[in-house]
Amino acid sequence: MLKLINQASTIINTAGTAILGIAGAGMDLGYKGGELSAIPLPNIAYTAPGT
């Protein structure tokens, strides 16, 4: 019984790793590898609330 649970856990962990790896690669490609130019910044300076 313990061997079966261990095998199921291994399969679940492997599938989770693959899914997260594919999702991460998709995010890297979709967001241009994390380049800041991919996200436009506002033209005004930030001021803290209440100042």
Please give the sequence-ordered ranges of beta strands (E in DSSP) within 2-46, or none if there are none.
none
Quote the radius of gyration of the chain (alpha carbons, Å). 21
- pLDDT of 2 reads 94
* Segments of the chain scoring below 50 in pLDDT: none
- pLDDT of 18 reads 97
Its pTM surpasses 0.75: no
Give percent of the chain above pLDDT 70: 86
Contacts of 31 by beta carbon, 8 Å cutoff, 6+ apart: 38
